[in-house]
Amino acid sequence: MLEKIKQLELISRKHLEPTSQQRDEMTKKILSYSENFLDNIYELPAYVMDEKKGIDIYKTPISENGISLDATLDVLKTNVDTPGLNPASGGHLGYIPGGGIYYSALGDFLADVTNRYAGIFFGSPGAVRLENLLIDWMAEVVGYPKSTAGNLTSGGSIANLIGIVTARDAMNVKSKDVEKSVIYLSEQVHHSVDKAIRIAGLNECVWRYVPLDEQYRMKSDELEKQILEDKKNGLNPFLVIASAGTTNTGTVDPLKIIGDIAGKYKLWYHIDAAYGGFFILCDEGKKVLHGMEMSDSLSIDPHKGLFLPYGLGTILVKDRTKIFESHHYLPPYLQDTLKANDELSPADLSPELTKHFRGLRLWLPLKFVGVAPFRAAIEEKLLLARYFWETIQTFDGFEVGPYPDLSVVMYRYVPKRGDANEFNKRLVHEVQKDGRVFISSTMIDGKFVLRVAILCFRTHLQTIDFALKILKEKAKEIEKEFEIKK
């Protein structure tokens, strides 16, 4: 047996623990790959429509023995880093972009090398304090008090889930109460909210979609009317969910008034600020987001508004006991950890136990460049959206949606002849096929509408002017075709 153990050790040492020279060689190659990507990032397309769609990844299946790093990086480049959307590109103006600041990659690198266990205070008190410090900072940014606790999640979806589960328990909604308990929300909430409600076992609650005004904001008087009526009918109104920036239209609900109503009728108030929350860093955004601090729980995504690479959302809960009561658990095999509980541990505030040490990817950039550049960049995005809105409506044939609350703009082309929906479907396709910038579309009240979402830190005035130029050109080309057809 001892011989066998030694043999196995040899294999493990040889392949799983590269020598410093091997590390050096590999790191150089990886760096050269990423440097090549970044050096060309302003020229790379935002979208690549490619026939193969990465199918050749299957040509090199996982096997017993490895292949060279060069060959591996080739597979990666061709199949993964080329086809489809390039979220790192400033030309990404679809969905909700963010970009992915480089400093976070360095933070992730360090987190992976040291592999600190950031789930439980006992295991890595410093890592947990670092994450709690970030939670405290974000709480302060949004105007939450010192009593706040929260969690760094994988994204906004899990943040919303934690918020809604906390709301359910804090409001004491047991399974027998579900059918008569009422949730108030807008048809424009992000679908992760719908998912979270279902996963939280609240699907059979009464869902009240509060009517929206012409800016797609929740009508607060209708909300209050509905709560009163539901109470009169013996129902249990317990949760209202507002959006600080909807994904679809970029709309901010009347946060302060909804906060007053939630307070008056003692409802839990959850705000989904995954997209829009960090606009509070600039003065213009602060005005729009007035009242955000009145919520009981709030989701806010650094991988959107702080331009981090994918993989970091946040849930904040004002009353720390509530998020703890919903999520903590102590199994016998973790009894030693009780020796150190100076601070709340992430594992007690989330469904996760072991997790990536996500804090480092936010802490490192904030320490290294400070908050000021983030404030500037987010204000730049807000103003770029206003500029886009003002400019595109001066182009022949284009009409715009409401003045943007934050950085999503809705617009479409109304052709002289033919079906507008068909025209815009074609327009978005042509822009995507071209690929120099990427825009996406949506349906609003039966209309096929185009949108730009400006939130990649690499998107600047030049990018927006370029996008405007492409839209104008493509629209002209399609208009010609439509005329010939008639």
C-alpha distance from residue 462 to each of 94, 145, 357, 459, 466 (Å): 17, 40, 36, 8, 6
Q: What is the 3-state secondary structure (H, E, C) of 182-231?
A: EEEECCCCCHHHHHHHHHCCCCCCEEEECCECCCCCECHHHHHHHHHHHH
Binding segment toward ligand PLP, per CB under 6 A, in 241-249, 345-353, 375-383, 469-477 = 241-249
Kindly report the backbone phi and psi dihedral angles of residue 399, in degrees, each rounded to the nearest multiple of 5, phi listed first.
-125, 155
Minimum gap (Å) between residue 159 Cβ and ligand PLP: 7
Binding segment toward ligand PLP, per CB under 6 A, in 25-33, 149-157, 289-297, 468-476 = 149-157
∠ CA 236-237-239 to the nearest 5 degrees? 130
* Strand ranges for 417-465 from DSSP E: 440-444, 447-453
Nearer to ligand PLP, 271 or 468 (CB): 271
Nearer to ligand PLP, 164 or 227 (CB): 164
Minimum gap (Å) between residue 201 Cβ and ligand PLP: 20
| CB-CB contact of 435 with 84 (8 Å) | no
Using the rule CB under 6 A, which residue among 254, 291, 305, 313 binds ligand PLP?
Answer: 313
Query: Is residue 404 close enough to count as binding ligand PLP by CB under 6 A?
Result: no
Binding segment toward ligand PLP, per CB under 6 A, in 54-62, 268-276, 284-292, 461-469 = 268-276
Query: Is residue 274 close enough to count as binding ligand PLP by CB under 6 A?
Result: yes
Query: Is residue 272 close enough to count as binding ligand PLP by CB under 6 A?
Result: yes
Cα distance between residue 150 and residue 346, in whole Å: 8
Binding segment toward ligand PLP, per CB under 6 A, in 25-33, 163-171, 239-247, 277-285 = 239-247
Choose among 180, 268, 264: nearest CA to 228: 264
C-alpha distance from residue 296 to each of 247, 317, 318, 321, 392 (Å): 21, 6, 5, 12, 39
Minimum gap (Å) between residue 246 Cβ and ligand PLP: 6
Minimum gap (Å) between residue 374 Cβ and ligand PLP: 18
Angle at which helix 360-369 crosses helix 125-142, to 10 degrees, equals: 60
Binding segment toward ligand PLP, per CB under 6 A, in 61-69, 152-160, 402-410, 437-445 = 152-160
Given the DSSP bridges, would you call strands 149-153 and 313-317 parallel, antiparallel or unpaired? Answer: antiparallel
Judged by CB under 6 A, how many residues of this single chain contact ligand PLP?
A: 15
Nearer to ligand PLP, 99 or 435 (CB): 99
Residue that has been written with the tokens 């839209």 in this structure: 471
Minimum gap (Å) between residue 34 Cβ and ligand PLP: 23
Query: Is residue 458 close enough to count as binding ligand PLP by CB under 6 A?
Result: no
Length of the chain: 486
Minimum gap (Å) between residue 383 Cβ and ligand PLP: 20
Minimum gap (Å) between residue 130 Cβ and ligand PLP: 21
C-alpha distance from residue 157 to each of 90, 139, 311, 329, 461 (Å): 24, 19, 11, 22, 31
Amino acid at 478: I
Query: Is residue 295 close enough to count as binding ligand PLP by CB under 6 A?
Result: no
Minimum gap (Å) between residue 441 Cβ and ligand PLP: 16
Choose among 437, 425, 405, 407: nearest CA to 475: 425
Amino acid at 46: A
**Sign of dihedral through CA atoms 60, 61, 65, 66?**
positive
Binding segment toward ligand PLP, per CB under 6 A, in 271-279, 348-356, 384-392, 433-441 = 271-279
Binding segment toward ligand PLP, per CB under 6 A, in 21-29, 46-54, 83-91, 154-162 = 154-162
Query: Is residue 301 close enough to count as binding ligand PLP by CB under 6 A?
Result: yes
Query: Is residue 192 close enough to count as binding ligand PLP by CB under 6 A?
Result: yes
Nearer to ligand PLP, 302 or 415 (CB): 302
Query: Is residue 277 close enough to count as binding ligand PLP by CB under 6 A?
Result: no
Query: Is residue 96 close enough to count as binding ligand PLP by CB under 6 A?
Result: yes
Cα distance between residue 456 and residue 158, in whole Å: 22
Given the DSSP bridges, would you call strands 398-400 and 440-444 parallel, antiparallel or unpaired? Answer: unpaired
Q: Which of residues 157-176 bind ligand PLP (CB under 6 A)?
A: 157, 160
Query: Is residue 190 close enough to count as binding ligand PLP by CB under 6 A?
Result: yes
| CB-CB contact of 300 with 308 (8 Å) | no
Binding mask 63-82 for ligand PLP (x = CB under 6 A): --------------------
Query: Is residue 453 close enough to count as binding ligand PLP by CB under 6 A?
Result: no
C-alpha distance from residue 323 to each of 69, 147, 349, 351 (Å): 44, 11, 6, 11
Query: Is residue 155 close enough to count as binding ligand PLP by CB under 6 A?
Result: yes
Using the rule CB under 6 A, which residue among 275, 413, 423, 438 binds ligand PLP?
Answer: 275
Binding site for ligand PLP (CB under 6 A): 96, 155-157, 160, 190, 192, 243, 246-247, 272, 274-275, 301, 313
